[in-house]
Structure 1
Amino acid sequence: MNILLAEDDVRLGKLVAHLLQKEFNRVDWVKNGRDAYDNACILTYDLIILDWMLPGQDGLTVCKRLRQKGIQSGILFVTAKDANQDIISGLDSGADDYIVKPFEFNELLARLRAISRRKEKPLEEIISLADLTLNLNTHVIKRNNTTIELSKKEYHLLELLMRNQNQIMTRELLFEKLWGFETEVSDNALDAMVKLVRKKIDVPGKPSLIQNVRGIGYKVRHSNV
């Protein structure tokens, strides 16, 4: 499961992100509404956890904008507001459920599971691209039923590309997701990693599944290969 956590309380956000990471495949944590909206539009998330009182843009506005844009991810509000009208406003904005602070982590997990069960489309466990498959639960990657071994970062790169098959992933975004803003890595580190992943997943004599979009970034190939 791929989760976006939007929480500006650093102590709470760090704790929840850590606990969610232990339960699920990947968790992205942002601290303001603008980043929450941008991430949800660029990347594909199964579930989004939105704090109501986010700086920059509050969670209610973010939720409304995401639904207007057609984002179908499950959305859970985390809020200190427990008045009946506030709860109604949150649900009417497009959220699937809410949880009031302070809360037990087990309750948060239960509500996330409930949202996933209510979604029309079950949470995706396997992503396919041509004859390449990536299992989000086991992290097993196969092509032509042959298992492919990738390092943790190589897997993360391939998952990002395969989850977002309808768009180009910019170099800046890939750098941020793979290494973060604070880590000092050379500019060609991304190209070197793509080269390694291609070597492992591509079939000799066939075009690479990963395409370079010059000056912008990378995307995965949709045509039959």
Structure 2
Amino acid sequence: MNNSIIAEGKTTAEAIENGLKELKVSKDKVNVKVLENTEKRSFFSILAPRIVKVELTLKENRQAPIMEIQPEQIEQAKQNIITFLNDFSKKFEDLNYNIEIKENNIVLELMGKDANRLIGYRGETLNALQTIITIISNKELTGKVRVILDIAGYREKRKKVLEDLADKVSKTVLKTGRTITLEPMPAYERKIIHSRLQNNDKVKTFSKGEEPYRKIVISKNK
């Protein structure tokens, strides 16, 4: 992806919006410079087409240096989770768990008859619980250990649903020519949609809006 592009529109706002669509980012991720603005035109140019040119440049993503996680920290994070889950599971009649360390990540799966109650509508409760467990696991650690939580294989099932949705919507877009906006999704679900359609050169996808209401837009590639 280019770090800078020039976009056009009938107004400054339209030119910026066109540029954001091309870059597939939100406005807070770019610096905007107006290059040519004919919104204020003279009497002699009144018949000329209205056009505004803007330059959009991606802001530098200055991330803090990633601190390498030591094996003993990962093990401590795992023990923090086990302590929490041993107490948490007492609140349910049938809730078990399996916890492993894979590629410096902690992979946790909840199982049992009561596990499905913790998924929530489209995984909302599951995602919230993953956030809570991540915070607990990293208590008093200098680095950050990533926790991946699943419940009764939900994530894989949800991935299949989203991939089928991407296929179905892309076919509708190509058949009707309409641009379709999906409902808000968390980042990891949007990534599944983008990945599913990235090799389909007949359609394009981009995200719009702010979290937690950010949505995917699927349109025909002109």
Q: Same fold (TM over 0.5)?
A: no
**TM-score if structure 2 supplies the norm length?**
0.22
Task: Flag the structure with larger Rg.
Answer: 2
**Larger relative contact order (C-alpha < 8 A, sep ≥ 6)?**
2
